[in-house]
Amino acid sequence: MTLDQHENERSPQREDANGAGAMRELARLWVRSYPAISAFITANVADAHHAEDLVQEVAQVVAEKFSEFDQQRSFVSWSLGIARLRILKYYRTQSRDRLVLSEEALVRIADALEHVDVHAEQRRDALRHCLGKLSGRRLTAIEMRYRDGLKVSDVAERLKTSSSAISVMLHRVRQSLMECVQKRLSGAETP
Amino acid sequence: MRQENELARLASRYVDGTITGPELAELERRVLVEDGAAERLSEWCLMHRQIVDILSEDRLHDLIDQMLVGRPGPPRGVFSEVNQRRSRPKTRPGINSRYLRIRAMWPAGLAVAAGVAGLALFFWWRPTLLRVNPLAAPAFANQPNESAAAGAEGRAAVVASLTQLIDASWRSPEAALEQGQLIAAGGRVQLASGRAKVTFDCGAEVVLLGPCDFELQSSMVAILHSGRLTADVPRRAFGFGVLCPGVDLVDLGTSFGVNVEPHGETELHVFKGEVLCSPNQPRLPGAQSLIHVVENEAKHFSRDGSDSSVGDIAMDVDQFESLLALRRSATTAPAGLASQRLALWLAADRAVVTDTEGRVINWPDLLYGDNSAAEDALQPDPDARPQLAIDAINGLPAVRFDGDSDFLLTTPLETTDDQTVVFVCQFTASALDDARTWGGQIINYDGPPSRYLSDTLEPGVLQIGEPLLEADFRPTLLTSQVFAGFVGATTVEAGRVDGLEIGVGRPTLVAYTYNYGAQKSELRINGELVGTARAFAPQGITSRKIIGRHAWMQLFFHGDLAEMLIYNEALPSGQLRATSQYLADKYAIELHASP
């Protein structure tokens, strides 16, 4: 052990500074990775509240294990790995009330998300613009599903229609949003 | 194009949780085999999440706007000021308090940009946005340096609470203390006559008989200059010391009595366990350095601490009888009430101490079963005292919180990761006041010194009451959770279960079990299971528990609380049922069994 190492271990001030530095780094990395991690979990866990729980759990594990993180690796990839294991654990411990992709497929999606994530902020801005164009029943359905975290069947009940009708409606709204986002990102649609 | 649309349809059904088996198989096949399918699906995943974030963020901005236009400021000062200079206790092995700084380091704008889920930032921002209206700091006992005490910077650490006074008169007007008062290091209890009980933050409980002069050095050490005391020292206060003119007494897990005569002669009588005695004067040749005194033994020590003046004396419990009587045990074992791992028991029909206007100064913790240390709930400030309502629920009394300023604070209570909180309450009419837009809390485990949970490495905070935030608020709806803190900008709420709107004037039995071991929490209202959630965050801590309000926001309970029990375990279903039945019978509440 060098004198500096010894000092680092013994000095509360330095230890504190190192800890603060690590936490700053964790904070920076987490902010950048958050879109991909939360997207991965939310897409694979339909229950909005459980998905939020899992995002929080992953955040907790990431913070607790950050000292073990190899800085040479991709943080997003490492965090998505933790998220994948948590999702699988979630389905093992929960009564299996929905169908989920295999671990192999989850790995593929996580890998893809890592790259999509690079443009997450631009996508987000574009999506905000596109959401602003929604109105009427389509907007109501989206708000119920996303803001209020309702299941498709609950949205259907509140809008006094069938689940399959809501399913189709949500799909069409998403498709129109996706097209709008892509147009906007490609510059085909001006502000 | 058609294939593209089909993938989008499958993705949509997948994220909604409505996909069928064959459709899932098709989606899986395409993800694994088809070029670009995983990438396209990941775009759908990202959009799916970003819609959640954008809609939640809009709601968050609404909330922040509401706060900035003038909402009640947090009274965090009332708690944090108490111990501003006190270092944060390490409450769990391996927890590093340096991480507490992360919140201050995190730029606020970045957090919003991070796409925070829902209301996460609310709790995070609020302390800095709204620290504008602190309540007055609690009164301190006479401190050695009054001028220093005037400023928060010079304020000494709180080490104990004056939990009970019986017929107390003081040595001088300056020495007078109020029941419920917090006592700082260096404070003295100087009785001319009567009795006083002091509960140290470490959990040691000392009862004094006047005339006496007792000085509190720290939460673990006190000096008995003269007078008589009994001490009950729980396991967690092992090593608690009482220094006397001729001898230092160190507890090794005990109950004991001490009598210091005016000229300094000291008697020690050990009722239970063992006390280590160290004569504290310069050693005389041949003097013993340490003396063990065990149960049913008594010793006499002279002022000079010499070996020749240490002697056995006859055990005399009688001289401490009036002091021992202040410890309150349940006179009869209530049928069905679980006693194992009981940590706190407050019952409004037993021994509540009120002022002349019927306001509660001390709601005593009843000793029963494993509950052997009294962590009373106190309120020294007359304006913040709840009223004792004599005929509140089924002809029995309850403590009435006005929803405006009333609350009680226990002395530090050790609680574990697994918890069961059972209580009987009812909301009063003011709960439905149209002007109310924020929820009030019935119990919150984050008593002063309130912790800034800037990470999840600290234990979480159990809290039960109405949903706090305007967006969620529904009067008389009960919600329970362990708030576990933040990681970056993400709020961690563990085991949150939202119950029902129970309405006004309806006696209600609430039972919340948080089973960290089994990763499950349950909320029962009137015996009926109303919800479960994942209990994934630890919460074990020794802290003051706040009854009737939130820890740092001025959000108060509008209602009556008749009885409350806290257990340091997730009660097994049979015991929970029996305890619920006991309370239901007592308060005439009809239970509804869960299916």
Residue at A136: amino acid letter: G
Residues 146-165 (A) with a CB less than 8 A from some CB of B: 146-147, 151-152, 163
Q: Residue B105 carries which side chain, given as an amino acid letter? A: M
- In CATH terms, B395-587 corresponds, of 2.60.120.200, 3.40.50.150, 3.40.50.300, 3.30.70.260, to 2.60.120.200
When pLDDT is averaged across residues A34-58 and rounded to a whole number, the result is 86
Q: Which residues of B touch A15 (CB under 8 A)?
A: 98
Nearest beta carbon to residue A39 from set B5, B49, B96: B49
Which of B:7-46 have CB within 8 Å of A? Answer: 8-9, 12-21, 24, 27-28, 31-32, 38-39, 41-46
Chain A nearest C-alpha distance from B25 (Å): 8
The beta-carbon contacts of B22-26 under 8 Å, at least 24 apart in sequence, are: B24/A99, B24/A100, B24/A101
CA angle B249, B255, B259 (to 5 degrees): 55
Measured between CB atoms, which of B27, B43, B49 is closest to A42? B49
Contacts of A16 in chain B (CB under 8 A): 98
Tell me the nearest-neighbour CA distance from B45 into chain A, angstroms. Answer: 5
- Give the containing element (helix H, strand E) for B533: strand B528-533
Residue B123, pLDDT score: 27
Please report the DSSP string for B452-497 in residue order: ---SSSS--EEEEES--STTT--TTEEEEEEEEEEETTEEEEEEEE
**Interface membership of A118 toward B (CB under 8 Å):** no
Question: Are B447 and B546 a contacting pair, CB within 8 Å?
Answer: yes
Which positions in chain B touch A26 (Cβ < 8 Å)?
A: 488
User: If you average pLDDT over every residue of chain A, what do you get?
Assistant: 80
A111 interfaces chain B, CB cutoff of 8 Å: yes
Interatomic CA distance for residues B570 and B512, integer angstroms = 9
CA distance B82 to chain A (A): 25
Please name each of the domains of chain A with its CATH number: 1-118 (no CATH), 132-191 (1.10.10)
Residue among B47, B50, B105 minimizing CB distance to A23 = B105
Going by C-alpha positions, the residue among A102, A84, A43 that lies closest to residue B10 is A43
CA B277 from chain centre, in angstroms, equals: 34
Distance from CA of B99 to the nearest CA of A (A): 7
Q: Which residue of A has its CA nearest to B95?
A: A64
User: Hey, what's the torsion of the CAs at A122, A125, A128, A130, to 10 degrees?
Assistant: -60
Q: Summarize pLDDT for A129-169 with one digit per residue, the tens.
A: 899 888 888 888 998 898 878 889 989 988 888 999 999 99
Question: Which positions ≥6 away from B548 have C-beta within 8 Å?
Answer: B386, B401, B406, B407, B408, B440, B441, B442, B556, B557, B561
Interface test with A, best of B487, B497, B515, B532 (most A CBs within 10 A): B487
Burial zone of B173 (CB within 10 Å; 0-12 exposed, 13-18 middle, 19+ buried) = exposed
- Cβ of B28 and A19 within 8 Å? no
Structure tokens at B243: 């220094």
Q: B117–A38: do the CB atoms touch at under 8 Å?
A: yes
pTM: 0.57
Confidence of residue A2 (pLDDT cuts 50, 70, 90): very low
Assign B345 to helix, strand or coil.
strand
Q: Do A171 and B111 touch (CB under 8 A)?
A: no
Residue A12, pLDDT score: 37
Nearest C-alpha in A relative to B533: A50
Position A120 scores a pLDDT of: 72
Among candidates B46, B49, B492 on the partner chain, residue whose Cβ is nearest the Cβ of A59: B492
Residue type, A162: S
Alpha carbons within 13 A on the beta-carbon side of B57: 18
pLDDT value, residue B285 = 55
B31 close to B38: Cβ distance less than 8 angstroms: yes
Please indicate if any CB of chain B lies within 8 Å of the CB of A22: no
| Closest listed residue to residue B183, CA positions, set B166, B170, B197, B195 | B197
Residue A31: HSE in the Cβ half-sphere, 13 Å Cα cutoff:
17
Indicate the DSSP class of residue B86: S
Q: What is the largest CA-CA distance in chain B?
A: 103
Whether residue A93 and residue B519 make contact (CB cut-off 8 A), yes or no, is yes
Q: Chain B: nearest CA to A150, how far in angstroms?
A: 10
Least Cα separation, residue B556 to chain A (angstroms)? 27
How many CB atoms are located within 10 Å of the residue B371 CB? 23
B290-295: long-range pairs with CB below 8 Å, 24+: B293/B268, B294/B270, B295/B270, B295/B271
- Report the distance separating Cα B163 and Cα B361, nearest Å: 9
Q: Please state the domain extents for chain B.
A: 2-59, 146-324, 395-587
Q: Which residues pair with B413 in a beta bridge?
A: B543
Quickly list DSSP for B220-237.
Answer: SEEEEEEEEEEEE--GGG
| B46/A35 touch (CB, cutoff 8 Å), yes or no | yes
- Taking a contact as any Cβ pair under 8 Å apart, which residues of chain A between 66 and 95 contact chain B? 93
CB contact under 8 A, B49 and A131: no
Cβ neighbours, 10 Å, residue A71 = 7
Structure tokens at A56: 């929080």
pLDDT reading at A69 higher than 70: yes
CA–CA distance, A188 with A167 (Å, rounded to integer):
29
For domain B146-324, give the CATH number: 2.60.120.1440
Out of A24, A46, A56, name the one closest to residue B15 (CB): A46
Among B313, B361, B286, B364, residue whose Cα is nearest residue B563: B364
Q: Is residue A42 less than 8 Å (CB to CB) from chain B?
A: yes
Interface test with B, best of A99, A107, A172 (most B CBs within 10 A): A99
Task: Point out the residue among A143, A152, A177 whose CB comes nearest to the CB of B16.
Answer: A152
Residue pointed to by tokens 């920076």: A28
Distances (CA, A) of B438 to B57, B209, B405, B453, B470: 19, 46, 14, 21, 5
3-state secondary structure (DSSP) of residue B566: strand
Side-chain-side CA neighbours of B81 within 13 Å: the count stands at: 18
Disruptive mutation site among A11, A24, A146, A155 for chain B (greatest number of B CBs within 10 Å) = A146
Q: How far apart are CA B43 and CA B39, in angstroms?
A: 6
Q: d(Cα B457, Cα B485) in Å, to the nearest integer?
A: 8
Residues of A in contact with B106 (CB under 8 A): 27
pLDDT of residue B80: 30
B208 Rama sector, left if φ>0, alpha if ψ -120 to 50, beta otherwise: beta
Cβ B583 vs Cβ B422: under 8 Å: yes
Instruction: Find residue B242's DSSP bridge partners.
Output: B222, B249
pLDDT, mean of each 10-residue run, chain B (595 residues): 79 88 90 89 89 75 44 30 30 25 26 32 26 28 31 60 91 89 91 94 92 93 94 86 90 89 90 86 60 91 70 88 75 80 94 90 90 89 93 95 94 93 97 92 89 72 91 92 76 87 95 94 95 91 93 90 97 95 95 72
Angle, helices B2-16/A12-44, rounded to nearest 10 degrees: 120
Cα separation, B338 vs B331, in Å, equals 15
Tokens 């209890």, residue located: B189
| Contact criterion met (CB < 8 Å) for B50 and A109 | no
